[in-house]
Amino acid sequence: MLPQPSLSKPQAELVSAHLRAPRAAAIAGILFSVLLIASFLLLRHSVPPDPLEPGAWLRSGAGSVVTALNLVPFAGIAFLWFMGVLRDRLGDQEGRFFATVFLGSGLLFLAMLFLSAAVAGGIIIAYAAQPDGLLGSPAFNVARAISYEALNVYAIRMAGVFMIATSTLALHTRFIARWIAFLGYSLGLLLLVSSRSLDGILLVFPLWVLLISLHILIDNFGSASTPGTADR
Residue 86's nearest CA partner among 24, 32, 35, 36 is 24
Q: How far apart are CA 212 and CA 175, in angstroms?
A: 10
Would you list the domain boundaries of the chain? 22-218
What average pLDDT does the structure give for the chain? 82
At 61-85, the pLDDT tens digits run 788 889 999 999 999 999 999 988 8
Supply the DSSP string of 105-130, one letter for each residue: HHHHHHHHHHHHHHHHHHHHHHHHH-
Residue 50 is predicted with a pLDDT of: 79
For 133-170, the pLDDT digits (tens) are: 787 788 888 998 999 999 999 999 999 999 999 998 88
pLDDT per position as a tens digit, 34-50: 999 999 999 888 888 77
- Name the band, by pLDDT with cuts 50, 70 and 90, for residue 204: very high
Question: What is the predicted pLDDT for the residue at 63?
Answer: 84
Question: Considering all CA atoms of the chain, what is the largest pairwise distance in Å, rounded to the nearest integer?
Answer: 69
What mean pLDDT is predicted for residues 91-117? Answer: 85
Q: What is the pTM of this model?
A: 0.82
